[in-house]
Structure 1
């Protein structure tokens, strides 16, 4: 134990130095934050003297990751929204109507004249002129059923078709409703995240809660009303003709065209027409599906007006690409293979099932898929956030000083060694939080304060064990060696159980509880590392230099 190899010493001090370097930017928080914001602004909007000065305010060769401050520390806005997922069912049925109508018109001799009648929300009801042709009508419409593309709906179709008298009824199946609800929440999350990210807010927290609710926390924003207005902004989704591709973002696109970047392919730019063929306002549905070869794809459907415009365009541009543009970025540019009538189409490519699902989400990210009702809203002022920071800092400092005094008073010189490791431990916690980009909240500060008290537990076990060995008249070197060996099992058991608890808190908790769990888990790991390796290395280096005949712990 008292002969630690040089490579192991180098590794221990290297880990310490690296994590402390990662924590360093937090000592200059405002300067580093301005540095990071200026870099992002230059990438998006170009250089200005003010931004260049902000970038120069922090050396580029030093780490610049920060521990992000949560809503309760920075101040900001909090919203709890409920998504009205049932609104989507009616839109889906409106999108199905043109396809069902065209299919039944081809069987007019059998089913007679067809007419849509007013039905319950989310239900498509069609009256046929010849009730005797109902069986044929049901057969024709059931051919329009599509298999559900998710694990829970395997073997199920997306619509249920029934008939009674002269009225044919089409509605979503229960499995498709469940899949639609999930897609609606995911689409809403994507839209809200894009809207919030667009204004440059720092580390917003946007999470699903339960079946149909979304929690939105945005630090640094002025008020809940401002956040609601921001979320209500509609993204721009358009379908445009493609003139060509270029690697040069400054290329001359020609009159009536513009150059837009590709969302997926870095360095690829598309020259597209400024005028759109159809826009996202005409899109009623987009969902993952399979192409004729069984490969993942994305199917989409327009409303009647959009279907007519899209059909006319595809008829005259077969073999040409067209661009799907979201917020001035080309997310896909498929080639038109055939005249697309009826207002529906399919996008193919080298997709996985996850890719096709994500693209379907992006296609609907132009507008909220369903109305969102805000159940709770709260604004936290920056002054309250600063008060929370000051209170948390004071609590942590008091705990820190008390632990330092206790260890020095109880264990003398060895307590001072443990105190040095404790200081290193706190720095390592902030270094790891900065590395993973964690958000620090008030419960997170509580987790750090708790870690300060728990951090010396391992040292207490070790030192007490060394005391016992010294009472048996063992030499100091042997007493130290046995103390570390025999205390190890108790240290591992105690910290593993606490680490499991932190994992359960993270898995089952939300928001602040997760923040507490993250800081607690990181604190456990760094505490064990500092007690078992750092403190021991300090003691070994001291022992090698002094060679004491006796020691007092």
Structure 2
């Protein structure tokens, strides 16, 4: 019997009210939200990059910069130590991670060793993890270990976080996120309208500014042709072509001494400069050095390039001045921002970029909302047509379920992405699965229960374990997807996981309480009838009678798919190969694909393809990996921007370097394997081993044929494809578990029934649930495919195909495998022995 006490009913409806309160702020504008209590203002969904526009950039600390700085520091420390002790030496050099020096007098070698040993101690002037080695010929070597460099890289990453944040804030953006990623990366996300190219330039450069003296002992060109003093170095100017200068290595003023920095643009000449003011220490040093070197030249060095070389006419004592900067107005502003924020300890290279225009994001939101609305209407209409008043109850539960999903995501401060919207739409189709399982179980229990109320109570109780088992598989897939790392895939995984949990909770709280009220007030004697109510009630299809033919056909198709995969291979997206994907919209008229192809071919970027994307004015450009490291990929995207920006707006830009693509490939592979292993282990624990084997075979069947689909259709295989495959695997196993659960129940009830007959009976008993759940899920996916937008169309198509494939494999692959592995040996009487189990009639347990 279904019974809910008043306090339980009150608690359920209080939870429903709380969910509405938490979800409601998402429908209000910023002005309306400002009048709400503070705790309620913050509990709302954050729109992801792909929905409100912005840039997601992954920066990597350049290890080579750290190695260079460590070598220069070590060489300087060795030089100063030996000179200070009066020890003569020769051949002091630094290469790779080794500093070598030869002591001229062998008798002083041991003394030199003793003096240099402190440099190897942790915290020593040359830093930790340094080994000192002495050769027989008097040569000493300081070897900086990989561990020492790695530690310095991690330290540089940590120091860079605040500097990057200050630069972005100085750029004028308030809605941004800067977070560490691993030991050597920084993830930057700036939302809204962003000039991605300018932002990357602002963040990439160390911006190390320093004042040096020009070494007048020889010209820069003479130094290049001969040998220059060890205390100096050759640096080039910012001119085109660059001019070499011989510059003293010692910096007497650095950017850290500057306390007032302002960009200045002469309104008449448009000449740009940086006005600065020095602190007391910088003022003292500048006055002292310039006073001692009148007639010589300063070298103002910016990131190892000579920005300016003014003559010293007199001592500079005021601590104020201006540096000529041959930059544009934006360039000089950016330079001022970098100098104010401080110098980075090393160059930050962009290894990944994903930029979206706000207009493109707004289009995605509109498409997602339309798809969700259409899906909800279609699913609601089908449920009401099937179950009448119980269908209405299911729709009410579905609406509350969606509100609860939004409330939970808002409470967690989750980020809603376009794949996340797709996940919610998918939940619209899958959420009614629990209601269908319960209602169909009630229909079966009606035949043996004394009253309909008793049948309803049994239906809810006996459907519980099946619903939990079925949804765990998809929940596991969602957890693994979350661990893959991509923001958009995480958004999908979070909404899917939350949707699964709220679906189960809603089915056994709200739905159950409403049904209990309906029973108490209306006293119905049976389930509401409709035209479709008994569509599968008397199904007695002999599925196993053709299992050999289906097995053979599936094996042939699988072999064809594997052969196509082995020969043609997948059309891998830039997530796995590296490269660039750029979507553009013509500012006027339609996009001319032939002209785009010709213009891009002239840039000599290697393999470039141009195709239509969603409309006549839109085009999608794919640029293959440049093969020259991370900077080569960014340079290619920069060239395309420069070539097309006059005629096209950039809707979406994705640039993936080789390091990121390699990691994504590894994560995707491990993610798929981990998901399959976790799901199958769960089935193994919950069922007998033959069931786990059947699930493995069915899963492999689905994965192989879906890969074949990608090969034969030429669709791009990327991270969203991985998400589609894993979701389909979870859905397919969801369906399989429902059938397995009924088979396990029948195995206990009919201990002498031949396995083929028992399997047929189990499939027929759950056929209505299988077909109805597939129908609602396909309706939701169809709405997503038609109205969800171009970005997720291939994802949705894969899901449509996969859901149909998963439904097929649950019946014709997962179930027959149990016969092959002899879950129950056939009785000597063969199929006739089912007469001893007079309880299965027309595929229904009675």
Report the TM-score when normalising by structure 2: 0.43
Match of 2:24 in 1: 24
Q: Is the 1:196–1:204 contact (alpha carbons within 8 Å) kept by the matching residues of 2?
A: no
State the SS of the aligned residue for 2:174.
Answer: coil
2:131 pairs with 1:160: yes
1:431 pairs, out of 389, 392, 407, with: 407
Shift of 1:397: 1.2
The separation in 1 between residues aligned to 2:202 and 2:12, in whole angstroms, is 48
Match of 2:4 in 1: 4
Shift of 1:170: 2.1
Deviations 1:48-72 (A, max 9, x none): xxxxxxx44x455744422111111
State the SS of the aligned residue for 1:217.
Answer: strand
The separation in 2 between residues aligned to 1:278 and 1:147, in whole angstroms, is 29
The separation in 2 between residues aligned to 1:512 and 1:415, in whole angstroms, is 33
Match of 2:821 in 1: none
2:175 pairs with 1:202: yes
Distance 1:444 1:544, change over 3 A: same
Match of 2:395 in 1: 419
Shift of 1:6: 3.4
The separation in 1 between residues aligned to 2:6 and 2:112, in whole angstroms, is 83
Distance 1:206 1:512, change over 3 A: farther
Distance 1:3 1:225, change over 3 A: same
State the SS of the aligned residue for 1:455.
Answer: helix
2:103 pairs with 1:131: no
Match of 2:262 in 1: none
2:490 pairs, out of 514, 520, 542, with: 514
The separation in 1 between residues aligned to 2:31 and 2:23, in whole angstroms, is 14
Deviates further, 181-190 or 385-394: 181-190
Match of 2:505 in 1: 529
Q: Is the 1:204–1:218 contact (alpha carbons within 8 Å) kept by the matching residues of 2?
A: yes
The separation in 2 between residues aligned to 1:119 and 1:460, in whole angstroms, is 73
Q: Is the 1:71–1:380 contact (alpha carbons within 8 Å) kept by the matching residues of 2?
A: yes
Match of 2:461 in 1: 485
2:154 pairs with 1:182: yes
State the SS of the aligned residue for 2:57.
Answer: strand
The separation in 1 between residues aligned to 2:345 and 2:508, in whole angstroms, is 54
1:67 pairs, out of 12, 28, 45, with: 45
The separation in 2 between residues aligned to 1:203 and 1:537, in whole angstroms, is 44
The separation in 1 between residues aligned to 2:149 and 2:205, in whole angstroms, is 27
Distance 1:489 1:395, change over 3 A: same
Match of 2:116 in 1: 141
State the SS of the aligned residue for 1:144.
Answer: helix
Deviations 1:20-72 (A, max 9, x none): 2111111114435xx5xxxxxxxxxxxxxxxxxxx44x455744422111111
| C-alpha RMSD over aligned residues | 3.5
Match of 2:288 in 1: none
Match of 1:89 in 2: 67
1:466 pairs, out of 442, 448, 465, with: 442
Q: Is the 2:158–2:180 contact (alpha carbons within 8 Å) kept by the matching residues of 1?
A: no
Q: Is the 1:83–1:371 contact (alpha carbons within 8 Å) kept by the matching residues of 2?
A: yes
Q: Is the 1:223–1:379 contact (alpha carbons within 8 Å) kept by the matching residues of 2?
A: no
Match of 2:479 in 1: 503
State the SS of the aligned residue for 1:201.
Answer: coil
Q: What is the aligned residue count?
A: 403
Match of 1:172 in 2: 144
- Contiguous gaps of at least 5 residues in structure 1: 36-54, 149-155, 237-276, 283-304, 310-364
Give matches, 1:258-297, under 5 Å.
281=256
Distance 1:441 1:537, change over 3 A: same
Deviates further, 382-391 or 88-97: 88-97
Distance 1:173 1:20, change over 3 A: same
Q: Is the 1:78–1:218 contact (alpha carbons within 8 Å) kept by the matching residues of 2?
A: yes
The separation in 1 between residues aligned to 2:254 and 2:456, in whole angstroms, is 74
Match of 2:629 in 1: none
- Contiguous gaps of at least 5 residues in structure 2: 209-251, 258-280, 286-340, 530-846
The separation in 1 between residues aligned to 2:411 and 2:207, in whole angstroms, is 32
State the SS of the aligned residue for 1:472.
Answer: coil
Shift of 1:224: 0.6
Shift of 1:85: 1.5
1:540 pairs, out of 516, 522, 541, with: 516
* Structure with greater Cα Rg: 2
Shift of 1:472: 2.5
Q: Which has the higher contact order (CA 8 A, sep 6+)?
A: 1
State the SS of the aligned residue for 2:483.
Answer: helix
Distance 1:212 1:62, change over 3 A: closer
Q: Is the 2:100–2:139 contact (alpha carbons within 8 Å) kept by the matching residues of 1?
A: yes
2:378 pairs, out of 402, 417, 434, with: 402
Distance 1:116 1:543, change over 3 A: farther
The separation in 2 between residues aligned to 1:15 and 1:233, in whole angstroms, is 52
Report the TM-score when normalising by structure 1: 0.64
Deviations 1:210-248 (A, max 9, x none): x75655432203221342255368899xxxxxxxxxxxx
The separation in 1 between residues aligned to 2:457 and 2:64, in whole angstroms, is 68
The separation in 2 between residues aligned to 1:174 and 1:441, in whole angstroms, is 40
Shift of 1:146: 4.0
2:94 pairs, out of 95, 115, 119, with: 119
Q: Is the 2:75–2:92 contact (alpha carbons within 8 Å) kept by the matching residues of 1?
A: no
Match of 1:343 in 2: none
Deviations 1:385-407 (A, max 9, x none): 11111111111111111111111
Deviations 1:156-199 (A, max 9, x none): 96112224444433232122223333333444455434543664
State the SS of the aligned residue for 1:368.
Answer: coil
The separation in 1 between residues aligned to 2:39 and 2:54, in whole angstroms, is 32
Q: Is the 1:224–1:378 contact (alpha carbons within 8 Å) kept by the matching residues of 2?
A: no
1:385 pairs, out of 357, 361, 370, with: 361
Q: Is the 2:193–2:358 contact (alpha carbons within 8 Å) kept by the matching residues of 1?
A: no
Match of 2:762 in 1: none
Shift of 1:461: 0.7
Shift of 1:473: 4.6
Q: Is the 1:19–1:427 contact (alpha carbons within 8 Å) kept by the matching residues of 2?
A: yes
State the SS of the aligned residue for 2:510.
Answer: helix
2:341 pairs with 1:370: no
State the SS of the aligned residue for 2:131.
Answer: strand
Give matches, 1:96-115, under 5 Å.
96=74, 100=78, 104=82, 112-113=87-88
Match of 1:455 in 2: 431
Distance 1:397 1:182, change over 3 A: same
Shift of 1:145: 2.8
Deviates further, 369-378 or 536-545: 369-378
